[in-house]
Structures are given as C-alpha cells and as structure tokens.
Structure 1
C-alpha cells in the first residue's frame, strides 16, 4: 500500500527517465508505452547480470494498469507477462500490485532464480517506489 493517490503513483511509475535514480530492479524503459508498441526494458536482478529485452505493450491505462508481454527468442520458449496495477482505495491510498506470469518450455529451468532473485528485485522496486512517491508528497 502506498500513501498517495493513483495519479501520484502513476506519475513516478511512468517517469522512465528517472528510473536510474530510484529503481534498483528495472534500470530503464525506453520507448512509447502505448498498446501495440515495442519498448526496450533493462532489468538488473539482485545477484545477476543486467538483461535487456523488447516486449510489446498490451495494456496502458493511465492511473490503473501498465502491462507488457515479452519472449525469449520465440513465443513458447520463455514468455513473460509483466503487470503493474494501481488500485484506488478511495481514501488517498493506492494498492500497487506488481506481478509477472511466466510460460514456456524453459520456465522450469529458471524456476529457482525466478522465485528468489526476480522476486527480490520486485520487492526492492516496490519498496523504493513507495518511498519515492511518499517522499515526493512530503516536499
């Protein structure tokens, strides 16, 4: 839960230029986040190397949801659907829901890394997003 309205959370979440200043997991997002467009995303999982991939935006609903789908080499090998969802609690707070669903032949091979390193990266990002949004409200 973030102590700010969805529009305040969304403003930080979609300010991709400033990701290097606060986001320890997603280092950059380059491109126009509109449905059907391809963006370039670089992530840095804890204890891992920076990885860059080019997913396609499938949902971009301001102040509510941003979702993309990416694949490794070709569809069905290792596909991921990444989702950011903002739920307005109506009292000046927002629930930030951050998830990724993986499918494909190689998912089992990477299962342990996904459960540990990737999950830890999500948690670090979520905590930093909360801190950045709430601190910006206090300035």
Structure 2
C-alpha cells in the first residue's frame, strides 16, 4: 500500500491506500479534531476498509490495526493530559 493524502487542513487529515489495484483491499484513514470549547477538543480517529480481501484480512490485518489505533488514542490522550497546553506554542482558533 502506498497511502495518498486526500485532505489536510488545521483540523482534519485523511489518507487512502490500496493494495495493488482499487477494490482488492482499500483503506481510508481520518484524524478529526473538533473544538468543543476553549479547553476541550474532541479527537476522532477512523479507518474504513473495503474490497474483496476484507473478509480474509479481517483477523490478520484489520483487528490488530484497530487495537493499535485504540492504544495510540489512549497514549495520545495521556500525553496531552500530562503535558499542559501551551497557548504560546499552539493556537487553535
């Protein structure tokens, strides 16, 4: 798979990849940051797989990938909670 960035802006990142040819095994991944209030941001990470090989690769690729994303989300959350937000370095409008 050679992923291709489809959209990138301040609050959204999306990329897609395919295995050899379109329709065999495709994946679309997203990171979405939504400002809730001055101190809260919602983070959503999503992955969609489709194609003929999805049933076969579900156990070997998709399930482990989902577990790794969940671990990444927890680590990311913990990191942000342990490192106070410095408004002089980062700005969310």
Pairwise CA distance, 1:135: 1.8
Equivalent residue number for residue 96 of structure 1: 43
Q: Which residue of 2 aligns with 1:132?
A: 79
Distance in 2 (CA, whole Å) between partners of 1:88 and 1:110 is 35
Please state whether the residue corresponding to 2:66 is helix, strand or coil. Answer: helix
Q: Distance in 1 between matches of 2:25 and 2:68?
A: 19
5+ residue gaps, structure 1, are 1-52
TM-score (norm 1): 0.56
Match of 1:83 in 2: 30
1:55 corresponds to which residue?
A: 3
Deviations 1:25-53 (A, max 9, x none): xxxxxxxxxxxxxxxxxxxxxxxxxxxx4
Q: Do the aligned partners of residues 67 and 138 (structure 1) sit closer, same or farther apart at CA in structure 2, a change above 3 Å counting?
A: closer
Q: Deviations over 1:77-120 (max 9, x none)?
A: 10000000011111411111001111111011112342x31211
Bigger share in strand = 2
Which TM-score applies when normalising by structure 2?
0.81
- Give me the CA root mean square deviation: 1.7
Does 2:60 correspond to 1:121?
no
Number of residue pairs aligned between Structure 1 and Structure 2: 85
Structure 2 Cα separation of the partners of residues 74 and 100 of structure 1: 19
Larger Rg: 2
